[in-house]
Amino acid sequence: MSNTKAFSEGAVSNGPSSLNMDIEKTSAIKDFMALIKIGIVNSNLITTFTGLWLALHFTGQSFLKNLDIVFFTVLGSSFIIAGSCTINNFVDRDIDHLMERTKGRPTVTGKISPVKVLLLGIILIGLGLMFLSFTTLTAMVIGVLGVFSYVFLYTLWSKRQLVSNTVIGSISGAVPPLIGWAAVDSKLGMMAWALFLIMFIWQPPHFYALAMRRAKEYKAAGIPMLPVVKGFQTTKKHILLWIAALLPLPFLLTSIGIPFLILATALNLGWLVLGIYGYKIKDDIKWAKLMFVYSLQYLTILFVAMVILTLV
């Protein structure tokens, strides 16, 4: 806690009022997309759909005959993620002006009032849970847990107080494939939990790499991210350990087939090799960028491959 306090004292206290008054002109739709963090919504939709698709495939159900479940699951998960992100923007509006990638958000520029932002977040979450309730009770309950872990455990509690905030935040990021699976099959077998583990373990190295690139901004905002508190060398070691933890997980998904096992193992080893190579690169920021970009490609390829390889 003492480290956190030290970093908080370095934060600028003027708030959004210290921003340049020349606010960038943006459309209402662009502001809305920034408010709900459309990039996060889209990436989580990939994992939600994969969980749903695999559940249909391995329970012997037809995709076309369950389009209503697909529709409610995609819409419901999208809404609760968008709503949770909107509330995150509402809470963080006092520090977002300190970071380059967040200073243009409508909650910072004042283009949308805080009350409206909070109300929008609550409405989106409510609608999302309603749509999920049209699938299974399990899917809706998992949705509630996802919202709770992101809004309360991460945004309101750990983000500004604990170095382990990234790990705690990874819980909510690992929930989408469980929602997708539970919408079809409430039993949540080994494969469903394997998807959860992949998403949970993938997030720390992904976000640690991002935090290295934005370390100065996180320090200014008083957020005790690992690179800020422990330094780059410790962060790099943590990244490698988390990536190494991914190595056995493809063997929990052998039902998808040997081609997937080979692909997933190759992706894991490739990421690990790139990480080890980082010790030869003197520029830590360059290494962090390579690791961040690889992590994005890794996630997309891995989850899309799960769908494609169960089609053939």
pLDDT at res. 113: 93
Domains and CATH numbers, the chain: 2-309 (1.10.600)
> Is residue 54's pLDDT more than 50?
yes
> Is residue 180's pLDDT more than 60?
yes
pLDDT at res. 24: 59
Contact 126, 132 (CB under 8 A): no
pLDDT band at 103 (very low <50, low <70, confident <90, very high): confident
Q: What is the pTM of this model?
A: 0.90
pLDDT at res. 138: 98
pLDDT band at 118 (very low <50, low <70, confident <90, very high): very high
Nearest to 62 by CA among 182, 180, 184, 181: 184
∠ CA 75-81-84 to the nearest 5 degrees?
A: 135
- Please give the Cα distance from 16 to 202 (Å, whole number): 33
The pLDDT tens digits of the residues spanning 288-298 come to 999 999 999 99
pLDDT at res. 57: 97
pLDDT band at 125 (very low <50, low <70, confident <90, very high): very high
- Residue 14 has phi, psi (to 5 degrees) of -70, -25
Nearest to 291 by CA among 213, 185, 177, 196: 213
Mean pLDDT of 235-256: 97
Residues 6+ apart with CB under 8 A from 206: 292, 295, 296, 299
> Is residue 2's pLDDT more than 60?
no
- Please give the Cα distance from 159 to 62 (Å, whole number): 42
DSSP tag of 157: I
Contact 153, 146 (CB under 8 A): no
Sign of the torsion formed by the C-alpha atoms of 163, 167, 173 and 178: negative
Mean pLDDT of 140-152: 98
- Please give the Cα distance from 312 to 300 (Å, whole number): 19
Mean pLDDT of 31-59: 95
Structure tokens given for 88 = 């995150």
pLDDT band at 190 (very low <50, low <70, confident <90, very high): very high
Contact 137, 188 (CB under 8 A): no
